[in-house]
């Protein structure tokens, strides 16, 4: 897309292009008629949690991902907490700082020390080449995260882990439908944990699902999600109350039927974004290795102020007044948040660069292509008028 028209952006007094405000993400749910009957049947059966639908959902997910076990839990965070507990990790765990805080929280809840590793600025994922240097005699595991659905370099991470006798936990919150070298993620490492909250590619309204080929671990996790009670009312292991409701499993099951269409649709929307705004100087997209595919849970672009003419915050501000919601995600990174600052004294240069310059644009599975085109048009006209916009006092351009 070259600049369509020469209309001024709203910040300079132009008219909005979008008819309606656009959210950053919206849940894609099954039609109510698809679930109504089963919903009533669950409601009337009295078996409303951790029963038949949960079991069916687990079987379908395991089948889809090609993994032996899938264990439904109440959230991805509780899933991560339980996996860590069940694996009896101790000491330090290597983790990227460029992630959502739930990944780190799961470590702290288990009294583990996070050891932060920088990311690769083009992929936003953990830089596996630095991991080895961060391993000490106290390290028990590596937690990797497929950021926005872009798969981490799993083989290299697994090799480092095997050589150093470490566990690998993958926070796959964003990555249902992601493929690493052609294979769906879900069966890598010791366990992977997916998130099913409303903004995710597959939602169960809320919920999480742990996948693993380790059947002993799965057994322990099933006990763990039920307080650690194996049924004899004599807990041997500190669990959580983290079961999934039948209603959630029902919604997840229905969504799963459409997962491949959803992934294809998101990929198409991202292509439209790329084709239309990649020529704008100073905008770059997350790099996905050609052997891999992303679920595109989010679309995060990096804004280079020197080339684009405006920084990320000012672009976010301009888009906001055009009715386009964006998100500075993940900003700040973990090691710069109050809770985590004590674990990392030195800067993490690439993580800070990505975090300070990233902006997630609207993306959801039932989004119309026309909306993406309109957003691209708006970005172009902001770029076109960047010099005039840059003159506007920045005192209003707060971190919103
Ligand atoms: C990377 C990552 N990990 C974990 C979570 C936590 O998921 P949940 O809200 O299901 O606990 C999220 C949530 O968005 C996330 O983005």
The tens digit of pLDDT for each residue in 325-366 reads: 999 999 999 999 999 999 998 999 999 999 999 999 999 999
Is residue 2's pLDDT more than 70? Answer: no
Helix axis angle, 369-384 relative to 312-321, nearest 10°?
120
Dist CA 161 CA 164 (whole Å): 5
Q: Is the CB of 246 under 6 A from ligand 1?
A: no
How high is the pLDDT of residue 341?
Answer: 97
Is residue 398's pLDDT more than 80? Answer: no
Say what percent of the chain tops pLDDT 70.
97
Q: Is the CB of 75 under 6 A from ligand 1?
A: yes
Residue that wins the pLDDT comparison between 291 and 237: 291
Q: Which atom of ligand 1 lies at the shortest distance from residue 77's CA? A: 11
Q: Is the CB of 102 under 6 A from ligand 1?
A: yes
Cβ-based neighbours of 12, under 8 Å, separated by 6 or more = 385, 388, 389
- Parse the chain into domains and list their residue ranges: 10-26+259-396, 32-256
User: Domain 32-256 carries which CATH code?
Assistant: 3.40.640.10
Helix (H) or strand (E) holding 129: helix 128-134
Quote the ligand 1 centre to 161 CA distance (angstroms). Answer: 24
Find residue 114's DSSP bridge partners.
Answer: 93
Q: Is the CB of 125 under 6 A from ligand 1?
A: no
Mean predicted confidence (pLDDT) in 30-50: 95
- pLDDT confidence bin for 6, thresholds 50/70/90: low
Query: How do beta strands 183-184 and 179-180 pair?
Result: antiparallel
Choosing from 197, 242, 330 the residue with most ligand 1 atoms within 8 A of its CB, the one to mutate for a pocket test is 197
Mean predicted confidence (pLDDT) in 263-289: 98
Dist CA 362 CA 342 (whole Å): 34
Phi and psi (nearest 5°) for 86?
-65, -30
Q: Which atom of ligand 1 lies at the shortest distance from residue 197's CA? A: 10
Dist CA 207 CA 226 (whole Å): 15
Quote the ligand 1 centre to 100 CA distance (angstroms). Answer: 7
How high is the pLDDT of residue 345?
Answer: 87
Query: Edge to edge, what strands does the sheet with 167-171 contain?
Result: 69-73, 208-212, 191-195, 167-171, 139-145, 92-96, 113-117
Pick the CATH number of 10-26+259-396 from 3.70.10.10, 2.170.130.10, 3.90.1150.10, 3.50.50.60: 3.90.1150.10
């Amino acid at each position: 897309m070259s600049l369509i028209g020469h209309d001024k952006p709203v910040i300079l007094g132009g008219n909005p292009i979008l008819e309606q405000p656009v959210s950053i993400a919206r849940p894609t749910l099954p039609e109510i008629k698809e679930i109504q009957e089963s919903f009533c049947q669950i409601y009337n059966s009295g078996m409303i949690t951790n029963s038949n639908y949960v079991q069916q959902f687990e079987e379908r997910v395991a089948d889809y991902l090609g993994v032996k076990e899938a264990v439904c839990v109440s959230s991805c965070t509780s899933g991560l907490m339980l996996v860590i507990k069940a694996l009896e990790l101790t000491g330090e765990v290597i983790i990227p700082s460029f992630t959502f805080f739930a990944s780190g929280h799961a470590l702290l809840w288990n009294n583990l020390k996070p050891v932060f590793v920088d990311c690769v600025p083009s992929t936003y994922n953990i830089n596996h080449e630095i991991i080895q240097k961060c391993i000490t005699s106290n390290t028990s595991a590596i937690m990797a995260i497929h950021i926005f659905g872009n798969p981490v370099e799993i083989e290299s991470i697994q090799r480092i882990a095997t050589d150093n006798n470490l566990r690998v936990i993958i926070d796959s919150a964003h990555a249902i439908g992601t493929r690493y070298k052609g294979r769906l993620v879900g069966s890598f490492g010791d366990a992977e944990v997916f998130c099913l909250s409303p903004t995710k590619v597959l939602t169960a309204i809320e919920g999480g699902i742990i996948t693993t080929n380790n059947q002993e671990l799965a057994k322990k996790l099933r006990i763990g999600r039920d307080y650690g009670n194996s049924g004899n009312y004599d807990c041997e292991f500190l669990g959580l109350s983290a079961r999934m409701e039948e209603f959630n499993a029902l919604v997840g099951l229905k969504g799963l039927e459409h997962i491949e269409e959803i992934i294809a649709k998101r990929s198409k929307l991202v292509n439209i974004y790329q084709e239309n705004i990649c020529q704008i100087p100073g905008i770059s997209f997350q790099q996905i290795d050609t052997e891999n595919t992303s679920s595109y849970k989010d679309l995060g672009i990096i804004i280079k102020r020197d080339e684009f003419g405006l920084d990320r915050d000012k672009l976010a501000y301009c888009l906001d007044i055009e009715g386009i919601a964006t998100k500075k995600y993940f900003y700040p990174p973990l090691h710069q948040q109050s809770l985590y600052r004590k674990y990392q004294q030195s800067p993490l240069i690439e993580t800070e660069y990505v975090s300070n310059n990233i902006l997630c644009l609207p993306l959801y599975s039932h989004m119309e292509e026309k909306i993406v085109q309109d957003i691209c048009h708006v970005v172009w006209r902001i770029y076109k008028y960047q010099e005039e916009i840059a003159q506007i006092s920045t005192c209003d351009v707060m971190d919103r």
